[in-house]
Amino acid sequence: MTKKLEEEFNLPPIEEVTNTDEEVVPTVEETQEVIEEVQGALSVSEKINLAFKEVKGLESHEVEMNDIAKKAIDSYEQLMSLGMNVSDMAAGKVFAEASNMLKIALDASDAKTKAKLQQIDLMLKKARIDKFDNKGTETEAVQATVFDRNDLLKIIKGDN
């Protein structure tokens, strides 16, 4: 690298970058924090995957969308090779259809993701409803006593 490039891009000299004698070694606490974060993320991911196993029909939808996306990409590749081998006048239409195939592939993968997100949303809504239903069944009997102002003042003063 030349000095002019270093100055142009505001880079440190190459000698400073390549001659680092110090190695950055994370501490044990930092490593443990990273491990805990990763394990937490993995446990959440495993819970989500287990929840999806309970949903029937989601796997078939995913397989169908994968098939559609694969066929659309194969068609795109065939149309691109065809477009390269036809006259310039006809190539525009072929390339337009090839771009439509890419759009179909993208829509198929988006539909797969959207179905999963909708399922997660429904699971969260169901969990929220279940939580509120359980709170409603566990009502405690609360006895309320009505006091007038003078009685409250006596209780506060301790003149019970």
Residue 78 within any structural domain of the chain: yes
Residue 66 within any structural domain of the chain: yes
> In the chain, pLDDT over 90 holds for what percent of residues?
4
Per residue in 136-147, pLDDT tens? 555 556 677 777
How many helices and strands in the chain, by DSSP H and E?
6, 0
Residue 160 within any structural domain of the chain: no
Residue 155 within any structural domain of the chain: no
With 0.75 as the threshold, say if the pTM is over it: no
Residue 29 within any structural domain of the chain: no
* Residue 1 pLDDT > 60: no
* Residue 153 pLDDT > 70: yes
Q: DSSP letters along the chain, please? A: --HHHHHHTTPPPHHHHH---------HHHHHHHHHHHHHHHHHHHHHHHHHHHSSSHHHHHHHHHHHHHHHHHHHHHHHHHHHHS-HHHHHHHHHHHHHHHHHHHHHHHHHHHHHHHHHHHHHHHHHHHHHHHHHHSPPP-------HHHHHHHHHT--
User: In 10 A of CB 72, how many CB atoms?
Assistant: 20
Residue 137 within any structural domain of the chain: no
Residue 4 within any structural domain of the chain: no
Q: How many domains does the chain have?
A: 1
pLDDT of 74? 92
Residue 44 within any structural domain of the chain: no
Residues making up the chain, counted from first to last: 160
Per residue in 12-68, pLDDT tens? 887 777 765 566 677 888 888 888 888 887 787 777 777 666 666 667 778 888 898
pLDDT of 109? 86
